[in-house]
Amino acid sequence: MRIGLDFDNTIVNYDALFHKVAREQEVVPPETPVNKVSVRNYLRYIGREELWTEMQGYVYGARMDEALAYPGVIDFLRWAGQINHEISIVSHKTKHPFLGPQYDLHLAARTWADQHLCENGKPLIQMDQVFFELTKEEKLARIAIIGCDVFLDDLPEMLLSDEFPIGTRRILFDPDRHHVAAMPPDIDVVQSWEGFAMCLRQ
């Protein structure tokens, strides 16, 4: 089976890092919940949308190495390799931030994948199967070119796109169950990487 995986907020969990950076910069109160959405919503509430945009570039660039993989990612990749599933990462992100220093966001993400998606020094995914596209359209085209049998993504709009490849099973990664009620019955919803593995076994 060829399995396609989104990267940001699917493999990588930024919740603790965004909260840490926001507290370092003293732009959110201490009681702000430790998650990315709460930081974003607070900054928007106080009219600091531009600070949120710049913070994203800083986190995805200069601080990327501090981000954590979701629990279960390494176990999943190990399991998938043992039974010869083929894994590709397909994500979309701009090359450089919209505001602030012009970090190479593709290089930062690729370096993170190379250094964090490994076990005992051995890669759990081949770097020639890691793709960072500039647009959502290019991401969808890449999924089709690769020929993914299944694709896991945290963005409902990606899985619901008219351009999503026909024949690729769609699975939504939704740890906090924000979108499960709105998903059509042909899109499976999982809350964890363990749940994703179980879904593939069905």
Q: Mapped to the 3 state alphabet, what secondary structure does the chain carry?
A: CEEEECCECCCEECHHHHHHHHHHCCCCCCCCCCCHHHHHHHHHHCCCHHHHHHHHHHHHCCCHHHCEECCCHHHHHHHHHHCCCEEEEEEECCCCCCCCCCCCHHHHHHHHHHHHCEECCEECCCHHHEEEECCHHHHHHHHHHHCCCEEEECCHHHHCCCCCCCCCEEEEECCCCCCHHHCCCCCEEECCHHHHHHHHHC
Percentage of residues in the chain with pLDDT exceeding 70? Answer: 100
Same domain? For 81 and 60 the reply is no
**Residue 181: band (very low, low, confident or very high) from pLDDT cuts 50, 70, 90:** confident
User: In this model, does residue 158 exceed pLDDT 90?
Assistant: yes
Rg (CA), the chain: 17
**Residue 180: band (very low, low, confident or very high) from pLDDT cuts 50, 70, 90:** confident
pLDDT at 147: 97
Average pLDDT over residues 169-183: 91
Average pLDDT over residues 133-162: 97
Same domain? For 152 and 140 the reply is yes
Q: In terms of Cα–Cα distance, which of 96, 78, 95 is closest to 87?
A: 78
Task: State the total domains in the chain.
Answer: 2
Average pLDDT over residues 98-119: 96
Same domain? For 173 and 100 the reply is yes
User: In this model, does residue 202 exceed pLDDT 90?
Assistant: no
Same domain? For 20 and 109 the reply is no
Higher pLDDT, 10 or 202: 10
User: In this model, does residue 81 exceed pLDDT 90?
Assistant: yes
pLDDT at 154: 97
Same domain? For 191 and 127 the reply is yes
pLDDT at 157: 95
**Residue 121: band (very low, low, confident or very high) from pLDDT cuts 50, 70, 90:** confident
Burial class (CB in 10 A: 0-12, 13-18, 19+), 4: buried
Taking residue 193's Cβ as centre, other Cβ atoms within 10 Å add up to 24
Domain assignment of residue 28, given as a range: 15-65
Same domain? For 172 and 102 the reply is yes
Same domain? For 145 and 50 the reply is no
CA 192 – CA 19 distance, rounded (Å): 21
| pTM reported for the whole predicted model | 0.94
pLDDT at 86: 97
